Structure 1
């Protein structure tokens, strides 16, 4: 990464974060030799040290829980909120892609969006100086993403890791990027890592029980697979779309979790269409969509709209389009918002509820209805530490 000429701050790493292994695990990305189970509980010297290991960044050892933290995406931001750490979030990768309105339905759960917007990493061109200014205790960011999306060098990463705070994180929302050759994690595997980081294992277990019960209940109410609709997931942020970026539902990224849990068929199966990725930016036009003609069409990029606002703009324009109006999904009024790109565990509960109503309205109620499929108060209690 080019130096912009600003003199960088240099200082000794704060005493509260310590690293396992030598030279930041020999280059940060190679991983570290793990401690024994007893050392993980009490630390190698008998104190309260603990370690967290996550690909690609390797293992870090801490002697206190991070108080200030910065995620890149809304997925890790939401994980921190779910673990009761909202007050410590001081920045984020992109404020516009972190959806917080759902917290309004959870008593006692909120995020200071003005504060994190002041430290929007992308708005600040992922400046290394901003990392120094934030002075966070941990960065929830996949370092390979920094290299391939923002041109950070290994030296840049090691500098911030050493001089400011370590990196813990893995890009999990999709699995189609060639550069992501390290381990992937499911949503709850990554969430568990964050619970280890913030020492909130009990709250994580309570949250996972809540999630598992909710998903099991929804799945018992689903129709047989032969009666479920074929679904195409796309992205297009315009109100009057002409082309669409394809998302494959067979990709196991966390942004598809609700569709996987609902067992829907990918309308693009067998077409040879590849999932959107860093290198694949191909788009489909209405003619391509008509060849597939899915029962349900999902369009991402409209999460600031309500279900009604989406129908009154995007769907209405498709109904007026000479080719788009021929789509079965358009004629049946089954074109919906496609959900967040980066969803965390709280997001996922709301998005699964919404998806169930989108796909199976006869069973779960119309998507514009107020029907609720999980207990908001019980979820709030878990997030607020009452479980």
Structure 2
């Protein structure tokens, strides 16, 4: 490819039919990478302290290295919602022009945002970059200033060569993303030299540099650091912590995930240090698959169900299926009402704050207050102010540029 392909459909034509809900198998494994593992943005937000014509400047992150910017990006291609959440947090949510399964990602993000004054994500009409496989034509169609996507990840996608990756960078806009920090899985051949893993808030800091929003980032990080300090100060001794597992249930099987391994996909469970019921299991990939009998044998005190706040996979529907199974109804977590809706692994900073608070309550109600439960399709539940890990108004103010 040396230029824009001919006869690209219009954005409106492309969008027809997009937004279909994600299926059980895709939810379980998310999307495939090389190892087989499987904006528009905000309301009432300013960009205090920066202007769109700031520049030139450079930002460094692996695997791209140093990336040059002439000015603050106004249009941003995103696949996974952690980057959209970062943009919203920094007051640039309206720059996002694409997102993975818009109805799922957008509605889940707004489930949290509805508890924040003046914050929302307008996902309707955004294309899903993975709906029909990652398309080079879409990159040309959207003509974004920057692509919040890891070029190493892109190189694993069907019909993508290294020259295609370079072509988009040279003819459309730079790549700026790091996919494998989510799992600490090995990147594909050709990208392993110098590849670096970042935690969620380190990655967020580099994205803040892209938007030239370092002050806002520091204010947000302070809120997060304070929340972590509250968690660390209140955790019970390890001997008194429950056993737990994080799963996705689909078609009679539990896709099981570790809780305390490295990677920002676990940024909402690792700080809580609960006892992973499958800690000793090495599945040879990012997750394992167990049947009802194996789950009953482990019988964790708490089961956290991924995507449980997301349309197409709400917890009440899943719980009914498990309760109707002879082994499922015997699980302690089912019998003791400790089968809970968990959030998304593709979490940015705002999502991470809410998901930390939610999971803390689910695991340690005596220390952090009872989790009130999630009502399908409704906003994140109201939490008494003295039981919140972070101040909603303070977070809203920072997102709005008042800090």
TM-score scaled to structure 1, two decimals? Answer: 0.81
Q: Does 1:50 align with 2:62?
A: no
Residues 52-104 of structure 1: per-residue CA shift (max 9 Å, x gap): 12111222111211111111211111011111101111112332442222111
Counterparts of residues 257-272 of structure 1 (less than 5 Å): 257-272=267-282
Q: Does 1:174 align with 2:183?
A: yes
Residue of structure 2 aligned with 1:187, choices 200, 216, 224: 200
Residues 144-195 of structure 1: per-residue CA shift (max 9 Å, x gap): 1111134411111111111110000001322235637421110011001101
Contact 2:4 2:137 in 1 (8 A): no
Alignment match, 1:361 = 365
SS of residue paired to 1:233:
strand
Q: Does 1:129 align with 2:107?
A: no
Alignment match, 1:302 = 308
Task: Mark the CA change 1:5 to 1:136 in structure 2 (over 3 Å): closer, same or farther.
Answer: closer
Q: Does 1:146 align with 2:154?
A: yes
Contact 1:140 1:169 in 2 (8 A): yes
TM-score scaled to structure 2, two decimals? Answer: 0.78
Contact 1:70 1:91 in 2 (8 A): yes
Contact 2:104 2:310 in 1 (8 A): no
Contact 1:176 1:251 in 2 (8 A): no
Give, in whole Å, the separation in 1 of the partners of 2:77 and 2:312. 28
Alignment match, 1:156 = 164
Task: Mark the CA change 1:267 to 1:4 in structure 2 (over 3 Å): closer, same or farther.
Answer: farther
Residue of structure 1 aligned with 2:102, choices 95, 118, 126: 95
Higher RCO, Cα 8 Å, sep 6+:
2
The gaps in structure 1 that reach 5 residues or longer are 10-46
Q: Does 1:283 align with 2:283?
A: no
Task: Mark the CA change 1:274 to 1:228 in structure 2 (over 3 Å): closer, same or farther.
Answer: farther
Task: Mark the CA change 1:177 to 1:291 in structure 2 (over 3 Å): closer, same or farther.
Answer: farther
Residue of structure 1 aligned with 2:400, choices 368, 384, 387: 384
Counterparts of residues 68-87 of structure 1 (less than 5 Å): 68-87=75-94
Contact 2:77 2:144 in 1 (8 A): yes
Residue of structure 2 aligned with 1:120, choices 111, 120, 128: 128
Contact 1:232 1:297 in 2 (8 A): yes
Alignment match, 1:26 = none
Which has the greater radius of gyration?
Answer: 1
CA RMSD of aligned residues (A): 2.6
Give, in whole Å, the separation in 1 of the partners of 2:368 and 2:302. 16
How many residues are matched?
338
The gaps in structure 2 that reach 5 residues or longer are 10-53, 374-381
Residue of structure 2 aligned with 1:216, choices 211, 215, 229: 229
